[in-house]
């Protein structure tokens, strides 16, 4: 039994690995989604956003990296954040360009799915960049908490904190991608590099809810640190 998932933005088909074995009526339904003008418009906007993000990241690094003075710990974490953003934006752009080309130039409705290796590679790098951004931001908050708590001895005692936190970020992000690999490595046909198989949609929703709560807590911590440091300087 095939499992078919479609939405305004994309479509996914589980329990199939060969596009030519997909029933024609399902292929036609998927093609209608991918050829929808609103779908194409959204993909084009996403592509422009990705190109703009890549351009801005490269411009900011080349223009300001020698002009800004940071503590070595925050500097290495900021560099890690830039790399994560660049990875995410680059592979997101590649995925959107390919998906748009499929939408416009593929005639056979059953050949509008992404190649399996292309989907796995682009999905993995997009997730790696996304998780890397979140994990690096968390590491930066931890670094600032330590700097605030050990303000008198931070310069002498915590010189390697940035390297340690960056190593933890890379390991944790790699593990997140590795744990999620089995989800995307099954018999699935995808039309969008961001999609997960529909059988795991519940887990993905819960994960994003947890990330949202965690992000709100991180924002509250950052604001609290800022207010505390401002108050301490005024005393």
Give residue-wise pLDDT tens across range 14-46.
666 677 778 888 888 888 888 888 888 888 898
Using one digit for the tens of pLDDT, what is the confidence trace for 178-192? 887 777 766 778 888
| 181 within domain boundaries | yes
Q: Is residue 45 part of a domain?
A: yes
Q: Report the alpha-carbon distance of residue 212 to residue 47 in Å, rounded.
A: 25
Domain of residue 24, CATH code: 1.20.1070
Q: What is the total residue count of the chain?
A: 235
Asked if residue 111 belongs to a domain, the reply is yes
Determine contact, residues 88/130, Cβ cutoff 8 Å: yes
User: How many structural domains comprise the chain?
Assistant: 1
Query: Does the pLDDT of residue 71 top 60, yes or no?
Result: yes
Q: Is residue 3 part of a domain?
A: no
Assigned domain for 183 exists: yes
CB atoms within 10 A of CB 149: 10
118 burial level (CB within 10 Å; 0-12, 13-18, 19+): middle
Average pLDDT, the chain: 82
User: Is residue 189, in this structure, part of any structural domain at all?
Assistant: yes
Global pTM value? 0.82
Residue 1: the pLDDT is: 42
Q: 6 lies in a domain?
A: no
| Residue 199: per-residue pLDDT | 57
Look up the domain containing 212 and give its range.
12-234
71 in any annotated domain = yes
pLDDT tens-digit map of 73-104:
888 998 899 999 999 999 999 998 998 888 88
């Amino acid at each position: 039994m095939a499992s078919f998932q479609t939405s305004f933005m994309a479509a996914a088909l589980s329990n199939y690995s060969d596009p030519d074995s997909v029933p024609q009526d399902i292929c036609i339904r998927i093609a209608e989604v991918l050829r929808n003008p609103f779908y194409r418009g959204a993909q084009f906007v996403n592509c422009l956003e990705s190109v703009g993000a890549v351009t801005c990241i490269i411009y900011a690094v080349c223009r300001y990296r020698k002009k800004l003075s940071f503590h070595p710990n925050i500097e290495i974490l900021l560099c890690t954040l830039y790399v994560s953003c660049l990875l995410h934006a680059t592979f997101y752009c590649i995925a959107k360009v390919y998906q748009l080309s499929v939408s416009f130039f593929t005639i056979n409705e059953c050949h509008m799915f992404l190649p399996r290796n292309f989907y796995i590679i682009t999905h993995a790098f997009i997730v790696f960049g996304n998780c890397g951004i979140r994990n690096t931001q968390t590491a930066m908050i931890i670094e600032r908490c330590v700097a605030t708590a050990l303000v008198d001895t931070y310069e002498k005692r915590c010189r390697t904190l940035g390297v340690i936190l960056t190593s933890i970020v890379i390991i944790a992000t790699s593990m997140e991608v590795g744990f999620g690999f089995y989800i995307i490595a099954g018999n699935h046909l995808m039309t969008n590099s961001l999609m997960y198989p529909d059988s795991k949609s519940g887990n993905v929703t819960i994960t994003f809810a947890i990330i949202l709560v965690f992000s709100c807590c991180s924002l509250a911590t950052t604001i609290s640190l800022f207010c505390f440091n401002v108050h301490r300087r005024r005393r």
